[in-house]
Chain A
Amino acid sequence: MVSPGMAAGSPPAGEPDFALHVLTRSDQARRRRRIEMVALGVGVPVILLTIWEVLTLTGVWDAVFFPAPSAIFMDMVDQVRTSAGLATLGADIGVTMRDAAIGYAIGAAGGFIVGMAMGLSRLTFYGLGPIMYGTLPTPKLVLYPMFIIIFGIGIGSTIAICAMGVFYFVCMSTLTGVRFSSSVYREVGAVFSVPWTLRYRSIIAPAALPSVVTGLRLGLGSALVIVLAVEFISSTNGMGVYIWNAWQALQVGQMFAGLLVMVIIGGILVIGGNWLERLAVPWKNDD
């Protein structure tokens, strides 16, 4: 008996057949959603690029500042076609990533330690809290001149300012994670007389972890932004310089090549970050 509401071709009663039917429908739905995702995910940018192309070709947008995407693409290909061009790009990517990585590592480590200390020790919180919360709204880039004085222009000050920015994100999220994660877990530790090292390892740290991970991810984006900004202003090497010089010389193709590289790197970091987060904190999106 086919009842209204069941698709044509549905199998007659019987338990195992129904299960198969549910499975098939679910598969179909999932496949449909994936097609939608890919179609729109690719289609919309393509449509936007096409509109851009048309706007430039018809003269609505000035070709000097917004060359047609096709022209940009040709330009980009020219940049990386020569081994010299590729080497320059590669070297600049390397410099930027190196500085960002070192700054991130220092800032994240420092932020985690200080955040933990503030979260666990009331006195530390009272001592450092006002300073941290007070300077929080200030854009850390503002401190760059100070670091130039201390380290001179160059890798030292770049890493320092990057670390500073990352430090704040990681410190505040670690602090939040420790202080405001569910107190019932800590009461479990108290009631069952869990020894302190185990309490830290199995209760306090894991409870804080989701918040810490969020801070680490925010810090990641922040590290890149800061390094690029610094390179715009006063560096000799790095993607910031690559992009900025291209802009100065109106080599729009080269500029967009640089932008594209940074977009790709950013995308990789986000996807990688998602994957790592799910690995480290599998319980995160429950309750």
Chain B
Amino acid sequence: MAIGGQGVHARSGQATAVAAAGDGSPNIDIRELRQGYVTDGGRVVQALDRVSLTIENGQFICVVGPSGCGKTTLLRIIAGLETRYEGQVILGTDPKAGAERLPITVVFQQDSTLPWMRVLPNVMLGLSGLKLSKRESRDQARKYLDLVGLSDFVSAYPHELSGGMRQRVAIARALAPEPTLLLMDEPLAALDAQTRLIMQSELIDITQRTRTTVLYITHDVEEAVTLGDRVCVMTRRPGRLKSDIATPWPAHGGKGAIDVLDYRAQPDVAAMVEELSLSVREEVGGTLTRQDSN
């Protein structure tokens, strides 16, 4: 049963389907989300305008849109960091749920590794919300640090690592609790182009292997088409989802079957990137002419 209203996350009463992780079972159902705030000048700014989205377990959904369209607000509402909104966020159950799961974890855009702790304790902090013994926590953290390729750096301090490596620590930390839903807010935006390409490949690989459900925010259309099973385009503020398309991965053997650069070179992929870019550009063009800055 769904509990609606403001600022309440609810668990749906649907029985745990024993289906294999990846299809059909709803992971999260977002309904008619609206959010607004009052600026210092007393003006009301509406950030989200009736956003609705359903994600199935195992899916990787990318949301693209121009800056300021509300995509980060959307992510923060789902993460529970914003509590004042209208509409409903209903979490489903994940068939691969273990005994104790964090429902949702987040990889932030900025570097969110704690600089005063080494890499391993940083990841273990992500597990501190679960009831694990110290040894279990350490083993789990190591397992996911291995997965992101940082097993040689478990005792390093974040300031000894590059930006890309620090984001990998944040990703390991977000994956380690094996959350029902992983939220990522432009995690690769601060990285250089080469690192970004490498990280994209790795993300595909990791999320395929862990079969994690992901909601990924980005302003980079090509990245969205590369990483996602589906891409949603958000309008300029107040944000609404104006399209929701499946990416061409299935036509090329499924996600991760071919190299990221080869995939992008495919004509149908390039065409989709072009089409979606135009769609986003329409929105940006609007922002440049409208007087809606605070």
* A interface residues (Cβ-Cβ under 8 A, vs B): 184-185, 187-188, 190-195, 198, 202-203, 206, 209, 281-283, 286-287
- B102, B106, B117, B128 pick with most chain A CB within 10 angstroms: B128
B110 touches A192 (CB 8 A): no
Per-residue A-contact encoding for B99-125, CB less than 8 Å = 1, 0 else = 000101110101010111100010001
11 contacts between A and B (CB under 8 A): A184-B112, A187-B106, A190-B81, A191-B79, A191-B104, A191-B106, A192-B102, A192-B105, A193-B102, A195-B129, A206-B114
Total A-B residue contacts, Cβ distance less than 8 Å:
59
* B interface residues (Cβ-Cβ under 8 A, vs A): 79-81, 102, 104-106, 108, 110, 112, 114-117, 121, 125-129, 157, 159, 173, 177
- B105, B110, B121, B125 pick with most chain A CB within 10 angstroms: B125
B159 touches A188 (CB 8 A): no
For the complex, give the distance between the alpha carbons of A184 and B106 in Å. Answer: 11
- B115 partner residues in chain A, CB cutoff 8 A: 283, 286
Given the known interface contacts A190-B81, A198-B128, A286-B159, the answer about A185 and B114 at a Cβ–Cβ threshold of 8 Å is: yes
Main secondary structure of the interface of B (DSSP, over half): loop
Q: Which of B116, B117, B125 touches A192 (beta carbons < 8 Å)?
A: B125
Given the known interface contacts A192-B126, A194-B129, the answer about A187 and B157 at a Cβ–Cβ threshold of 8 Å is: no
For the complex, give the distance between the alpha carbons of A287 and B190 in Å. Answer: 14
For the complex, give the distance between the alpha carbons of A184 and B109 in Å. Answer: 10
A193 touches B129 (CB 8 A): yes
> Which residue of chain A is the closest to B76 with respect to CB atoms?
A187
> Which residue of chain B is the closest to A189 with respect to CB atoms?
B125
- A287 partner residues in chain B, CB cutoff 8 A: 159
A283 touches B116 (CB 8 A): yes
For the complex, give the distance between the alpha carbons of A282 and B157 in Å. Answer: 10
B117 touches A202 (CB 8 A): yes
A194 touches B159 (CB 8 A): no
A203 touches B114 (CB 8 A): yes
For the complex, give the distance between the alpha carbons of A281 and B115 in Å. Answer: 10
Q: Which of B80, B102, B114, B127 touches A188 (beta carbons < 8 Å)?
A: B114
A188 touches B112 (CB 8 A): yes
A283 touches B102 (CB 8 A): no
- A191 partner residues in chain B, CB cutoff 8 A: 79-81, 104-106
- A198 partner residues in chain B, CB cutoff 8 A: 125, 128
For the complex, give the distance between the alpha carbons of A209 and B177 in Å. Answer: 28
